[in-house]
């Protein structure tokens, strides 16, 4: 016991440093929260067109917002770090080294500021804004001014001249503004903060690369860290964002009692737009609500649907109430959530925002809940008669799902405004990743990011996680790194490869005894669970192992177990008797003993089985096609089996007699007859030659359906081009001849069925053996 300090001491020992830091920080702790919020939510985006212009002003007007933000951002930073401190004291020491993170944030926010112009911003902003406009008069000119200037060409081609100030002047100006603002600052004059911020920026600008990528203490996941905080930061498809916003704005009349500012889309504009988003119906009903009371956002995971919903709702001035899979979603709970969120005024928060209900992952909700929701939205009369008046839904509801075709969602789909979430564009995601990489000081290039985006199928979350992972490895991210990682295929594949590896590898670490090996394999395999896949992988990989010292006897044994696992699998599927599954892992043990080696084996994903199956299906399709087109009289005597086994292999020989390559009228009687025969056979079996362009640019005739593909195990003799052409032509005419004579037949007087048939056949020009006396006479 002596060696150990008592628990209190221990705590002090461990967290002493942290506590110290905490004390130091004590005074700056409390303020940030609100300010961050208000910053985030009160600003409306400025369209990107303005940027170039406002950028031009930066030298002059940057100080105003910059100063402002700096102050706040640092507070904000402190706030963040506080969180971290509370959450995980052990890491708090690192706070000092947080520069990178801080810088990133600062820069981030600075950038945002630059882009923002605020109408309903706090007082200072407006003042500064007015000021800057005033000054613009002095500092901007369309004609060549007298003061020192920089020439700029505007987007519309207009030339502008912007005044250049000396550094000195700027400093003075800045100080002036700082003083002005300080009046409004809650924290009082804080020049030190500003200076500190300047320092940080300077440091970053001068030596960003020299500074080691210090492990940042961010315990926040990047996914949360880089969650878009602004509407225009959204990565999702522009048009989708816009249409969601427009829909939400339609509620303005009902919720905010003001006219929605949305103008109906001009038809011309509509045509221009390529996006497939459904046209938003802008009509309002008698309560001033849009026609669709619910928006249903659907799309694959990781595209930012939830983010969009939150963003848009906040942007339109709502307080978001989210109900997701983690919440209880029984019908009852649903009801309360709905009523609370949409009807009670009391829930309106301090800022008096109305609620907007977001149902995340609604495809997992029980159907009864969804039914209730639908009823509710439609003015749900039945259950709630006493409250008829207030029953009208007055708040927008956004539902989010991955699969819109889940049966339970069917009723919802019909009444909701369905927005299909298109995948984020590759480049847009990659750009964003690059930005983040820059902030996080992860060295990488655009190519790698593009590859990453592609590999993860534009799953933002996945990309960020991978990036985070790379960051923790502390090295540059290259294209090959991205290819090596196993994102995108989702993590299951990584799992299965390691399972296969464990089967093929005798791990010394686990001990050499058979018992240890067996239990090792069993553990791994049991944990994975998909035995069929494991079996397939082992089966396809074992012949390619590098060092084969497996004897035939062992192979046989192992193969027996493949058979066993197949049979067990089948009976599991056919009888639904999953108890049998517990016998499957033992096959893996046998395979391990038979094929395991000490050397590292290169494994491949088993695709042969799958390929074979697809090919088999293709062949089946060809056979079906062939069967379908066959003349009925022949069709009735042909079975797919006999077609494959007997007819086709020989048919290909029969329809390729040795024709001379001369024109038709030079053929002898004999040859003409055989040509005729070939044509007839081909018509019977619905074969023909189709012209196709070959790879080297020439043309060739191919059989259609391509039975050559079906039966030949090697190179096949085939006819010359001209012969095929000839046959193709003949087939056309033969087919025509076959169909033509049927026409007059139909108009003929009705006759007993069987007579009609006989005639039709004879007119067809196909010789039918009148009867088979021939056979009978021969046999006695």
Partner 1 sequence: MLWADKYRPKELSSLSYHKQQALDLRNLTKDGDFPHLLVYGPLGAGKKTRIMCLLRELYGPGVDRLKVETMNFTTPSNKKLEISTVGSNYHIEVNPSDVGINDRVVIMDVIKNVAQSQQLNANTQREFKVILLTDVDNLTKDAQHALRRTMEKYIANCRIILCTTSISRVIPAIRSRCLCIRVPAPSIDDITSILTNVAAKESVSLPPELAKRIAEKSDRNLRRALLMCEACKVQKQGLVASQSVSEPDWQIFIRNIASKIVKEQSIATLAKIRENLYELIIFGIPSEIIFNTLLEEMLKNCDLELGRQIVEQAALYEHRMAQGNKEIFHLEAFVAKCMCLYQNMMQELMACEF
User: According to CB under 8 A, which residues from 620 to 639 bind partner 1?
Assistant: 620, 623-624, 627-628, 630, 632-637, 639
Q: Per DSSP, what are the bridge partners of residue 702?
A: 690
- Output the smallest distance, CB 632 to partner 1, in A: 4
Among 674, 706, 718, 722, binds partner 1 (CB under 8 A): 674
Q: Give residues 415-434 in contact with partner 1 (rule: CB under 8 A).
A: none
Q: Centre a 10 Å sphere on the Cβ of residue 306 and count the other Cβ atoms it contains.
A: 19
Q: Give residues 695-734 in contact with partner 1 (rule: CB under 8 A).
A: 710-714
Nearest to 251 by CA among 336, 353, 333, 348: 353
- Output the smallest distance, CB 344 to partner 1, in A: 43
Residue 117 corresponds to which tokens in the numbers above?
């112009």
- Output the smallest distance, CB 605 to partner 1, in A: 17
- Output the smallest distance, CB 569 to partner 1, in A: 7
Q: Give residues 346-385 in contact with partner 1 (rule: CB under 8 A).
A: none
Angle between helices 63-87 and 32-41 (to 10 degrees): 130
> Edge-to-edge strand order for the sheet containing 294-298?
319-323, 355-359, 397-401, 294-298, 417-420
Q: Is 57 in the site for partner 1 (CB under 8 A)?
A: no
With contacts defined by CB under 8 A, name the span among 152-160, 282-290, 393-401, 652-660 that binds partner 1: 652-660
The bridge status of strand 397-401 relative to strand 294-298 is parallel
Q: Is 514 in the site for partner 1 (CB under 8 A)?
A: no
For Cα atoms 622, 540, 623, give the angle at the middle one, nearest 5 degrees.
10
Nearest to 139 by CA among 165, 168, 157: 165
639: CB partners within 8 A, 6+ apart: none
- Output the smallest distance, CB 767 to partner 1, in A: 7
Comparing CB distances to partner 1, the nearer of 392 and 651 is 651
Do 161 and 149 contact (CB within 8 A), yes or no? yes
Among 8, 156, 224, 670, binds partner 1 (CB under 8 A): 670
Comparing CB distances to partner 1, the nearer of 34 and 546 is 546
Comparing CB distances to partner 1, the nearer of 529 and 649 is 649
Count residues binding partner 1 (CB under 8 A). Answer: 84
- Output the smallest distance, CB 87 to partner 1, in A: 50
Do 49 and 155 contact (CB within 8 A), yes or no? yes
Comparing CB distances to partner 1, the nearer of 47 and 773 is 773
Q: How far is CA 330 from CA 334, 366, 433, in A?
A: 6, 7, 39
Among 26, 189, 511, 543, binds partner 1 (CB under 8 A): 543
Q: Give residues 740-779 in contact with partner 1 (rule: CB under 8 A).
A: 752-758, 760-761, 766-767, 769, 771-776, 778-779
Q: Give residues 595-614 in contact with partner 1 (rule: CB under 8 A).
A: 608-609, 612
Do 592 and 521 contact (CB within 8 A), yes or no? yes
Residue 665 corresponds to which tokens in the numbers above?
């009228």
Q: Is 656 in the site for partner 1 (CB under 8 A)?
A: yes
Comparing CB distances to partner 1, the nearer of 83 and 646 is 646
Nearest to 364 by CA among 332, 402, 390: 402
Among 452, 647, 675, 727, binds partner 1 (CB under 8 A): 647
Among 46, 434, 559, 764, binds partner 1 (CB under 8 A): 559
Quote the CA–CA distance of 502 and 334 in Å, as a whole number: 47
Q: Is 556 in the site for partner 1 (CB under 8 A)?
A: yes
Among 526, 661, 677, 733, binds partner 1 (CB under 8 A): 677
Q: Give residues 186-245 in contact with partner 1 (rule: CB under 8 A).
A: none
Q: Is 533 in the site for partner 1 (CB under 8 A)?
A: no
Comparing CB distances to partner 1, the nearer of 646 and 740 is 646
- Output the smallest distance, CB 659 to partner 1, in A: 11
Q: Give residues 682-701 in contact with partner 1 (rule: CB under 8 A).
A: 684
- Output the smallest distance, CB 591 to partner 1, in A: 12
Q: Is 657 in the site for partner 1 (CB under 8 A)?
A: yes
Among 226, 251, 542, 701, binds partner 1 (CB under 8 A): 542
Query: What is the secondary structure of 276-323 as a DSSP string?
Result: -PPPPP--B-TTS-BS--EEEEE--TTS-HHHHHHHHHHHTT-EEEEE
| Residue 513 phi, psi dihedral angles, 5° rounding | -65, 145
- Output the smallest distance, CB 597 to partner 1, in A: 13
The bridge status of strand 140-141 relative to strand 159-163 is antiparallel
- Output the smallest distance, CB 608 to partner 1, in A: 7
Residue 699 corresponds to which tokens in the numbers above?
């043309």
Omega within 30 of 0 (cis) for the link into 693 = no
Comparing CB distances to partner 1, the nearer of 210 and 553 is 553
Do 312 and 351 contact (CB within 8 A), yes or no? no
Do 107 and 201 contact (CB within 8 A), yes or no? yes
Comparing CB distances to partner 1, the nearer of 486 and 718 is 718
Comparing CB distances to partner 1, the nearer of 302 and 596 is 596
Do 444 and 434 contact (CB within 8 A), yes or no? yes
With contacts defined by CB under 8 A, name the span among 257-265, 366-374, 421-429, 560-568 that binds partner 1: 560-568
Comparing CB distances to partner 1, the nearer of 480 and 614 is 614
- Output the smallest distance, CB 611 to partner 1, in A: 8
Helices (H), 507-584: 514-528, 531-541, 552-575
- Output the smallest distance, CB 762 to partner 1, in A: 12
Q: Is 739 in the site for partner 1 (CB under 8 A)?
A: no
Instruction: Name the E strands within 681-779.
Output: 688-693, 699-704
Quote the CA–CA distance of 407 and 362 in Å, as a whole number: 12
Comparing CB distances to partner 1, the nearer of 139 and 652 is 652
The residue with tokens 């890491």 is: 91
Residue 769 corresponds to which tokens in the numbers above?
């053996």
State whether residue 660 is helix, strand or coil: coil
Q: Is 642 in the site for partner 1 (CB under 8 A)?
A: yes
Residue 539 corresponds to which tokens in the numbers above?
């089966």
């Amino acid at each position: 016991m002596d060696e150990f300090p008592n628990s209190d001491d221990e705590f002090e020992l461990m967290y002493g440093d942290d506590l110290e830091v905490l004390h130091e920080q004590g005074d700056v702790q409390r303020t940030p929260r609100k300010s961050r919020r208000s910053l985030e939510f009160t600003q409306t985006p400025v369209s990107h067109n303005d940027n170039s212009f406002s950028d031009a002003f930066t030298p002059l007007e940057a100080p105003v917002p910059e100063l402002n933000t700096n102050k706040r951002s640092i507070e904000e930073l402190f706030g963040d770090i506080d969180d971290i401190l509370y959450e995980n004291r052990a890491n708090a020491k690192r706070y000092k080294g947080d520069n990178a993170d801080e810088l990133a944030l600062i820069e981030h926010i600075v950038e945002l500021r630059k882009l923002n112009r605020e109408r309903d911003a706090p007082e200072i902003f407006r003042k500064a804004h007015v000021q800057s406009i005033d000054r613009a008069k002095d500092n901007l000119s369309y004609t060549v001014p007298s003061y020192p200037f920089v020439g700029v060409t505007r987007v519309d081609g207009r030339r502008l001249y912007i005044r250049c100030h000396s550094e000195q002047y700027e400093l003075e100006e800045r100080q002036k503004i700082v003083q002005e603002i300080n009046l409004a600052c809650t924290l009082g004059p804080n020049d030190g903060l500003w200076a500190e911020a300047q320092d940080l920026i300077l440091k970053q600008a001068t030596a960003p690369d020299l500074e080691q990528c210090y492990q940042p203490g961010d315990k926040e996941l990047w996914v949360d860290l880089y969650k878009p905080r602004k509407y225009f930061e959204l990565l999702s498809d522009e048009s989708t964002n816009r249409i969601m916003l427009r829909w939400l704005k339609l509620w303005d009349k009902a919720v905010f009692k003001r006219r929605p500012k949305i103008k109906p889309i001009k038809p011309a504009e509509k045509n221009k737009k390529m996006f497939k988003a459904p046209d938003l119906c802008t009509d309002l009903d008698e309560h001033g609500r849009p026609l669709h009371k619910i928006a249903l956002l659907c799309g694959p995971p990781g595209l930012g649907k939830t983010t969009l919903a939150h963003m848009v709702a906040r942007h339109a001035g709502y307080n978001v109430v989210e109900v997701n899979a983690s919440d209880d979603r029984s019908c009852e709970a649903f009801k309360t959530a709905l009523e609370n969120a949409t009807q009670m005024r009391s829930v309106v928060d301090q800022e008096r925002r109305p609620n907007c209900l977001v149902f995340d992952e609604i495809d997992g909700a029980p159907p009864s809940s969804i039914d209730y929701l639908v009823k509710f939205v439609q003015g749900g009369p039945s259950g709630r008669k006493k409250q008829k008046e207030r029953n009208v839904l007055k708040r927008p509801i956004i539902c989010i799902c991955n699969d819109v075709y889940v049966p339970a969602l069917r009723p919802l789909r019909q009444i909701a405004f369905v927005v299909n979430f298109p995948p984020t564009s590759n480049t847009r995601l990659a750009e964003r990743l690059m930005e983040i990489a820059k902030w996080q000081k992860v060295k990488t290039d655009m190519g790698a990011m593009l590859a990453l985006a592609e590999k993860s199928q534009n799953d933002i979350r996945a990309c960020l996680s991978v990036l985070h992972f790379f960051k923790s490895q502390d090295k540059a991210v290259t294209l090959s790194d991205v290819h090596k990682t196993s994102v995108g295929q989702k993590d299951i594949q990584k799992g299965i490869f390691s399972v296969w590896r464990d089967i093929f590898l005798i791990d010394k670490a686990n001990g050499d005894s058979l018992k240890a090996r067996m239990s090792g394999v069993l553990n791994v395999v049991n944990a994975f669970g998909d035995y069929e896949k494991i079996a397939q992988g082992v089966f396809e990989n074992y012949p390619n192992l590098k060092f084969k010292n497996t004897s035939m006897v062992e192979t046989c044994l192992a193969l027996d177990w493949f058979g066993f696992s197949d049979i067990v699998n089948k009976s599991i599927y056919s009888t639904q008797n999953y108890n049998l599954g517990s016998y499957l892992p033992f096959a893996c043990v046998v395979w391990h003993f038979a094929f395991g080696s000490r050397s590292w084996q290169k494994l491949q994903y088993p695709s042969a089985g799958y390929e074979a199956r697809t090919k088999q299906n293709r062949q089946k399709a060809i056979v079906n096609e062939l069967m379908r087109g066959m003349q009925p009289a022949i069709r009735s005597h042909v079975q797919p089996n006999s077609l494959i086994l007997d007819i086709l292999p020989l048919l290909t020989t029969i329809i390729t007699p040795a024709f001379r390559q001369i024109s038709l009228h030079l053929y002898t009687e004999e040859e003409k007859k055989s040509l005729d025969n070939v044509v007839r056979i081909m018509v019977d079996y619905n074969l023909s030659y189709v012209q196709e362009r070959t790879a080297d640019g020439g043309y060739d005739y191919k059989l259609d359906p391509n039975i050559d593909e079906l039966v030949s195990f090697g190179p096949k003799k085939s006819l010359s081009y001209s012969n095929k052409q000839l046959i193709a032509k003949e087939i056309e005419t033969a087919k025509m001849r076959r169909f033509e004579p049927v026409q007059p037949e139909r108009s003929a007087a009705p006759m007993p069925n069987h007579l009609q048939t006989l005639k039709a056949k004879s007119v067809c020009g196909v010789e039918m053996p009148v009867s088979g006396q021939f056979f009978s006479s021969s046999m006695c």
